Amino acid sequence: MPSLRLGDTAPDFEQDSSLGRIRFHEWLGDSWGVLFSHPADFTPVCTTELGRTAKLSEEFARRGVKGIALSVDPVDKHTAWIGDINETQGTEVDFPILADADRRVSELYDLIHPNASTTATVRSLFVIDPAKKIRLTITYPASTGRNFDEILRVIDSLQLTDSHSVATPANWKPGDDVVILPSIQDPAVLAQKFPQGFEVVKPYLRYTRLQQGG
Q: Are 42 and 84 in contact (CB under 8 A)?
A: yes
Structural Rg of the chain based on CA atoms: 20
Residue 64 is a catalytic residue: no
d(CA 214, CA 211): 5
Catalytic residue, chosen from 10, 46, 120, 125, is 46
Closest CA to 60 of 20, 92, 81, 33: 33
d(CA 82, CA 42): 9
Q: Are 15 and 26 in contact (CB under 8 A)?
A: no
> Catalytic positions, please?
46
